[in-house]
Amino acid sequence: MNIKAQAWAEEARKAPLEPMEPDEVAKVIDNTLLHPEAVPENVVRFVEESLKYPFRAVVVGPNAVGVAREAIGNEKMPLVSVVGFPMGFHPLDVKMREAELLVRAGVSEIDYVIDISLAKRKDFRALEREAKALLSFGVPLKAILECGLLSDDEKEGSAKTLASAGVSFVKTSTGFLAGGATLYDVALLHFAVEGTDCGVKASGGIRKLEDLQRMMLAGADIIGTSSGIRIVQEAF
């Protein structure tokens, strides 16, 4: 247990919360639809509802990128999709092909799941090679660590390596595997990338405005959630 991160997380858990303006809330949210059962009608409705708020971005599955891009039309909403999702164990050449197709389809950013086995082995050079290969497509990357499967040393070493490689954000979790974001993991990642250009994205289990605010107090820069609209509406 990292004592500094633990203390920071505990402070975030107990701190009084200040009101936030709805637009202020929306601008830190990647509003997300990654349900495997989502059909095109769901995607269109999700995008249309999301466009009513100034979200940082919308996130959809690779099979929904075309539909989402068409629904966004001429609006300036960034479109994000995922690579190696949710397990991360795809060979690098498969992840590269996924990324290539997404970039061709017009995504603005990619959230990819790292090869978790590399983090478990502390093969940080291989993690760096994976990140740099995916960065070659020229779009910002968020690297998903799946913190619930890693030790503190594995999280910290991975985060430092990925920040050095040039990813834009390290992300706590997919929300599909080993639980969601925790205040402790957010604080741990925050201190791991402190002093770099890399931020922290908290994702998984963030469903209320209070959840968002406490994650940000713990060190999150942006939030991934499928409850973005509900959270923004809480701020009105």
What mean pLDDT is predicted for residues 42-54?
A: 99
Q: Which two tokens stand for residue 65?
A: 């990128």
Tens digit of pLDDT for each residue in 10-40? 999 999 999 999 999 999 999 999 999 999 9
| pTM > 0.85 | yes
The domain that holds 69 is classified in CATH as 3.20.20.70
Tens digit of pLDDT for each residue in 100-159? 999 999 999 999 999 999 999 999 999 999 999 999 999 999 999 999 999 999 999 999
Task: Give yes or no: 14 in active site.
Answer: no
**Contact present, 57 and 108 (Cβ < 8 Å):** yes
Residue 195 pLDDT class (50, 70, 90 cuts): very high
Q: How many domains does the structure of the chain reveal? A: 1
Q: Which of 160, 171, 185, 211 is catalytic?
A: 171
Where does residue 35 rank: exposed (0-12), middle (13-18), buried (19+ CB within 10 A)?
A: middle
- pLDDT score of 87 more than 90: yes
Mean pLDDT of the chain: 98
- pLDDT score of 178 more than 90: no
Q: Which of 115, 185, 201, 211 is catalytic?
A: 201
Return the ∠ at Cα 48 (arms to 46 and 72), rounded to 5°: 105
Residue 232 pLDDT class (50, 70, 90 cuts): very high
**Contact present, 137 and 103 (Cβ < 8 Å):** yes
User: Tell me, what's the pLDDT at 84?
Assistant: 98
- pLDDT score of 200 more than 90: yes
**Contact present, 174 and 149 (Cβ < 8 Å):** no
**Pairing relationship of beta strands 57-60 and 29-33 according to DSSP bridges:** parallel
Task: Give yes or no: 201 in active site.
Answer: yes
**Contact present, 55 and 228 (Cβ < 8 Å):** yes
User: Percent of the chain beyond pLDDT 70?
Assistant: 100
User: Tell me, what's the pLDDT at 148?
Assistant: 96
User: Tell me, what's the pLDDT at 99?
Assistant: 99
Q: Which domain holds residue 37?
A: 3-13+20-234
Task: Give yes or no: 171 in active site.
Answer: yes
Residue 192 pLDDT class (50, 70, 90 cuts): very high
Q: Which of 30, 111, 115, 185 is catalytic?
A: 111
User: Tell me, what's the pLDDT at 177?
Assistant: 86
User: Tell me, what's the pLDDT at 89?
Assistant: 97
